[in-house]
């Protein structure tokens, strides 16, 4: 039996994914998380074989959460779900040790195939994602150079939280650092992203898809 945790911030989508998995007969859902930090904590506590996680998650996005899981040396394989066949996302995800990346538009039997593949130690990519990886191999450097790539993992985390409308004091409490440290991160973010104020940081977070601007839900078929 393959043991999984589902991390998805939309309850209806999460319920649809759970129903699909539980009909398979060989996949057991251990728990559900509604944000990236919960996904990391639940993966540490429950030790699933596979973490199925939406890439656009509050608190930590899927790529940031995958990086923390890798750094904690947890055995779970991460399978990301995304609305976007985005080259930048794909490369960041693979660098963080993600073993699967499929599009939400493909959520049906492909999700089951992907879970089984990554649980067995293989890599599974939706067809459009595979094309991106192949194109990158043929034309290296094609998808590099975005300002967001110059940010550290902690800076990306702070940028996402700013875009989610948390204050510096709230972010400091979440990350167990001083408010002064968060203010330094904010100044660094403005310099690296060439913006002058909080509104500019929010626009950058949306542009580089650290946060979901649309809030659109996609329910598995």
Considering the entire predicted model, what is its pTM? 0.75
Residue 215 has a pLDDT of: 43
CB-CB contact of 188 with 206 (8 Å): no
Provide the CATH number for the domain formed by 2-138 in this structure: 3.40.50.2300
* Dihedral, CA of residue 21, residue 47, residue 175 and residue 153, to nearest 10: -80
User: Model confidence over 24-80: pLDDT tens digits?
Assistant: 999 999 999 999 999 999 999 999 999 999 998 888 899 999 999 999 999 999 999
Q: Retrieve residue 209's tokens.
A: 């898809």
Q: Retrieve residue 104's tokens.
A: 């939400």
User: Model confidence over 119-158: pLDDT tens digits?
Assistant: 999 999 988 777 777 766 565 554 555 777 788 878 888 9
Q: How far apart are CA 134 and CA 107, in angstroms?
A: 23
CATH architecture of 147-207: Orthogonal Bundle (1.10)
The size of the chain, in residues, is 221
* Dihedral, CA of residue 51, residue 55, residue 58 and residue 59, to nearest 10: 70
What average pLDDT does this structure show over 94-110? 86
* Domain limits, the chain: 2-138, 147-207
State phi, psi for 130 to the nearest 5 degrees. Answer: -60, -40
């Amino acid at each position: 039996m393959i043991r999984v945790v589902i991390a998805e911030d939309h309850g209806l989508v999460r319920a649809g994914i759970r129903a699909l998995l539980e009909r398979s007969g060989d996949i057991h859902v251990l728990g559900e998380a509604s944000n990236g930090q919960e996904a990391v904590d639940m993966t540490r506590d429950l030790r699933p074989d596979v973490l199925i996680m939406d890439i656009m998650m509050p608190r930590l996005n899927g790529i940031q959460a995958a990086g923390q899981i890798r750094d904690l040396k947890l055995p779970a394989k991460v399978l990301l779900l995304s609305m976007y066949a985005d080259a930048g996302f794909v490369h960041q995800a693979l660098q963080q040790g993600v073993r699967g990346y499929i599009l939400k538009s493909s959520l049906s039997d492909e999700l089951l195939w992907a879970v089984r593949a990554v649980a067995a130690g293989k890599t599974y990519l939706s067809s459009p994602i595979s094309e991106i990886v192949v194109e990158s191999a043929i034309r290296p450097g094609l998808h590099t150079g975005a300002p967001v790539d110059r940010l550290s993992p902690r800076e990306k985390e702070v940028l996402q939280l700013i875009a989610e409308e948390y204050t510096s004091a709230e972010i400091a409490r979440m990350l167990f650092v001083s408010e002064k440290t968060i203010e330094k991160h904010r100044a660094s973010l403005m310099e690296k992203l060439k913006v002058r104020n909080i509104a500019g940081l929010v626009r950058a977070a949306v542009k580089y898809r650290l946060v979901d601007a649309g809030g659109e839900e996609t329910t598995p078929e």
